[in-house]
Structures are given as C-alpha cells and as structure tokens.
C-alpha cells in the first residue's frame, strides 16, 4: 500500500476528483509536453455530467490559461471509469498526441494504469486483517505500525494536516453569505455557532460543536476554500467534527495526531482494495469511508485495544453501505454539507458502540465491509454515482420544474 499522505491532501475544494484531479492532470500534460499549440479536453462520465457544478471547467481554464484550449462535456459516450478525461494535444509542429487520464478520487490521477506523482508502496500489507495479525505478532499498536513504515516525517506531515483542518474550521465559522452557484445556499456554520453561544447551557454541548465544525469545513470546501481531503473533498467535514469531539474531551494535539495515523491507515486500505470515489461507488465510498476513518481515530485516541479499534471502523463502514451520491445541480452542497455533520456524529456513535460490544462475537470484518461497499457501488444505478441524474439531484429539479 502507498503512503497515508495520499489520503490527507491539502488543497482547494470543492472536489478531489472533479477539481484536484483535473488540475493535476493538466499539470501532468504541461510537464510532459513542450511547445503545445492547442489542447482539446474532453470530459466523460461523472466529470461531464456534474463537472460544471464541481468547477471542473474553471480549474482546467485556470491551469491551461496560457495555452489555446477548449473543453467538451461528453455526456453520452460510455467509458470504463466514470472520471475519464481525454487530452487531444496539438504540438507546434502539428503533431497530434492523445492522453487518457483517470481521476480516481482523493486528487489521484492514473495514466496507462499507473498512478502519477506518488511514491512506491510503503506498506507490505494490503488488508486490515493482515495488519492486525502483524501488529499482534510484533506486539505493536496501529500507530506504531504507521510510524514504522512511514518514518518520523509522517508525524510532521500530519501536524500540518491538523493545523490546516483547524484553520479551515475557524475560517468556516467566521464566514457568512451565499455559497457559489445557482442553488443560492446560505452558509450556516456561523449562525449555528451564534445560536449555540446565545444559550449558556448549549455552549459546551459537545455534539453541537461537532456539527458546527463539520458544517464549517464542508462550507469552506463548497466555497472553494483550502481544506484537507479526508479521504475526499466532499467528505472533508467529517473528520474535523470528530477532532472537535476529541478536543472537547481534552485530548491533546499529539494524541489526536496519533489518531490521524490510524484514520489515514483505514483510508488507504479502502483506496487500495476498493474505491474512495463517489463517481465510482456512490457516497458510501466518500462519507462512509470518512466515517470509518473518524471512528477509528476516536477509538485510537480513547485508547481502545486493537480489536475494538477495527470494530469501530467496521461498524461505521457497514452501516454506511448503499449510501448514494446524488448532488443537486452537481454542487458539493446538497446533501453533502449536512451529511458531513450527520456522519461525524455517526462516527462517535460507532466508536461508543465498539467499546461495549464484544469484538470476539463480530461476524463481519472491516475488510469484508470494504469489499461489500465496492460491490454495492458497482451495482448502484449510474444516476446515484455523482451524476445528479437520480435521487435528490433529480427530485429537486422536478420541484423547480426543470
């Protein structure tokens, strides 16, 4: 497996697959080819159907601003991966070159079945079961496991991740006004915070603060602000809510960063064996995985034993199965923002449940839940995989008479 740095990327929202991925794809093309005369970018699948709402065209225009280019949204051609981009490049000598690039979630791009810009595998194991067996044999914790294979620099990196999450939360609570786009969604985190502060009894309510933190970061993402994908932009509000829960229970920055080690481990296991892309497997692959990551982080920081930590992740993942990705008008706003808060709270409940339910009686492993999620995602109708053609995306259009 590759580094957990791949799960925690600091960058601009609102979508790791629809904005970060295409941005990195453009950078790849510009670095690979010199003397480009013209580029035609064709977007397929989910990128074509919801790209405008996700600001895909805006980020491509920004990256290719110094080169003559055009963008085509091809909503009809069937492709093997829902986030497929084709770059038709004309060089200065009129030579024609084509590159097909996949945006596979989390800002990661794939060219010719090879992941671009990432180091080789750093972990020798591929499933949580293998990792737990190894940790028990070596008598080490999951945190120790991550540190062993990532090296000391991972703690420094996760410190930056922690600080970026806190900054996006603070910025989100301070901000007000309307989010970009045609939905005219008003930011709510600031007003939620003020409503809570107006009641002395509510000011220290942990769950209210969790919800506010999740809203704040999810709104920053929707506004195109700087956030941490965890494991994607659309699910970026879940982990900050869980961190707020731990901070309000007086856990330290160091303890929470150790928890982020395990959260990242859960995320990279899913990305290795299944998917974290809403366009490929629905929102269960984004919010569901974020919930599992958060539950494992909470369990780690609260010093659960290794079996209870894995059970917390499994409970969160299992009970996110089937969650659809049906954004209204392609924006990462409805239902995405509110959903981040709901699943931050769900992560807390999963961790609490894992503490009291005997893990020895568990019939479903985390790895089995991950495989089930992947198969469920493949079975989902295309309209429920980030296309906005079904679910809320369709219903709300019908109410508007579109």
Decide: helix, strand or coil at residue 105. strand
* C-alpha separations of 49 from 159, 279, 328, 392 in Å: 37, 10, 12, 15
pLDDT of residue 55: 87
Q: What is the mean pLDDT of the chain?
A: 94
pLDDT of residue 314: 98
- The four Cα atoms 311, 313, 318, 320 give a dihedral, to 10 degrees, of 150
Phi-psi category of 386—alpha, beta or left, where left has phi over 0 and alpha has psi -120 to 50? left
Structure tokens at 188: 């709510």
Residue closest to 233 by CA, chosen among 321, 327, 319, 361: 327
Report d(CA 68, CA 19) in Å as an integer: 20
Give the pLDDT confidence score for residue 41 in this predicted structure: 98
Is pLDDT larger for residue 398 or for residue 194? Answer: 194
Q: Residue 95 pLDDT > 90, yes or no?
A: yes
How far, in Å, CA of 7 to CA of 393, rounded? 27
The count of other CB atoms within 10 Å of the CB of residue 89 is: 20
- CA atoms of 215 and 211, how far apart (whole Å): 6
Share of the chain above pLDDT 70, in %: 97
Mean of pLDDT values over 27-53? 94
pTM across the whole model = 0.89
So what's the pLDDT on residue 15?
A: 86
Average of per-residue pLDDT across 10-36: 92
**221 pLDDT more than 90:** yes
Task: Give the confidence band of 203 by pLDDT, cuts at 50, 70, 90.
Answer: low
53 — pLDDT class (breaks 50, 70, 90): confident
List Cβ<8 Å contacts ≥24 apart for 128-136: 128/266, 128/269, 128/310, 128/313, 128/365, 128/366, 128/367, 129/365, 129/366, 129/367, 131/265, 131/269, 132/306, 132/307, 132/310, 135/306, 136/306
Angle at 267 between CA 245 and CA 26, to 5 degrees: 115
Q: Which residues contact 326 (CB under 8 A, 6 or more apart)?
A: 283, 335, 383, 384, 388, 390, 391, 392, 393, 394
Helices 238-248 and 206-222: crossing angle in degrees, nearest 10, is: 150
> What is residue 76's predicted lDDT score, i.e. its pLDDT?
94
Q: How many CB atoms lie within 10 A of CB 200?
A: 7
Residue 91 has pLDDT above 70, yes or no: yes
Q: How far separated are the first and last CA of the chain, in Å rounded?
A: 45
CA–CA gap between residue 241 and residue 78 (Å, rounded): 38
């Amino acid at each position: 497996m590759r580094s957990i740095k791949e799960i925690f990327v600091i960058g601009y929202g609102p979508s790791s697959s629809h904005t970060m991925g295409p941005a990195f794809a453009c950078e790849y093309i510009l670095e690979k080819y010199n003397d480009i005369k013209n580029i035609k970018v064709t977007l397929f699948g989910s990128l074509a159907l919801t790209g405008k709402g996700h600001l895909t065209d805006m980020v491509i225009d920004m990256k290719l601003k110094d080169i003559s280019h055009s963008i085509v949204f091809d909503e009809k051609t069937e492709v093997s991966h829902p986030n497929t981009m084709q770059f038709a490049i004309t060089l200065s000598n009129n030579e024609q070159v084509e590159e097909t690039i996949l945006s596979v979630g989390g800002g990661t791009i794939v060219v010719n079945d090879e992941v671009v810009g990432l180091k080789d595998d750093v972990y020798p194991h591929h499933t949580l079961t293998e990792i737990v067996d190894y940790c028990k044999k070596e008598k080490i914790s999951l945190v120790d496991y991550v540190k062993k294979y990532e090296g000391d620099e991972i703690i420094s990196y996760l410190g930056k991740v922690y600080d970026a999450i806190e900054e996006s939360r603070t910025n989100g609570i301070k901000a007000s006004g309307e989010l970009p786009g045609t939905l005219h969604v008003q930011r709510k985190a600031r007003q939620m915070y003020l409503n809570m502060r107006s009641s002395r009894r509510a000011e220290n309510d942990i769950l209210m603060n969790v919800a506010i933190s999740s809203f704040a970061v999810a709104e920053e993402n929707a506004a195109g602000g700087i956030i941490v994908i965890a494991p994607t932009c659309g699910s970026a509000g879940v982990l900050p809510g869980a961190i707020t829960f731990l901070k309000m229970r007086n856990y330290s920055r160091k303890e929470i960063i150790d928890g982020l080690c395990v959260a990242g481990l859960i995320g990279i296991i899913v990305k290795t064996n299944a998917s974290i892309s809403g366009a490929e497997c629905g929102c269960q692959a984004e919010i569901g995985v974020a919930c599992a990551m958060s539950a494992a982080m909470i369990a780690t920081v609260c010093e659960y034993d290794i079996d209870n930590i894995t059970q917390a992740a499994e409970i969160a993942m299992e009970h996110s199965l089937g969650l659809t990705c049906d954004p209204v008008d392609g924006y990462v706003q409805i239902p995405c923002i509110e959903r981040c808060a709901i699943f931050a709270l769900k992560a807390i409940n999963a961790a609490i449940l894992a503490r009291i339910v005997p893990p020895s009686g568990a019939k479903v492993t985390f790895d089995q839940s991950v495989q089930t999620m992947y198969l469920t995602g493949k079975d989902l109708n295309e309209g429920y995989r980030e296309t906005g053609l079904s679910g809320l995306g369709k219903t709300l259009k019908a109410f508007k008479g579109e």
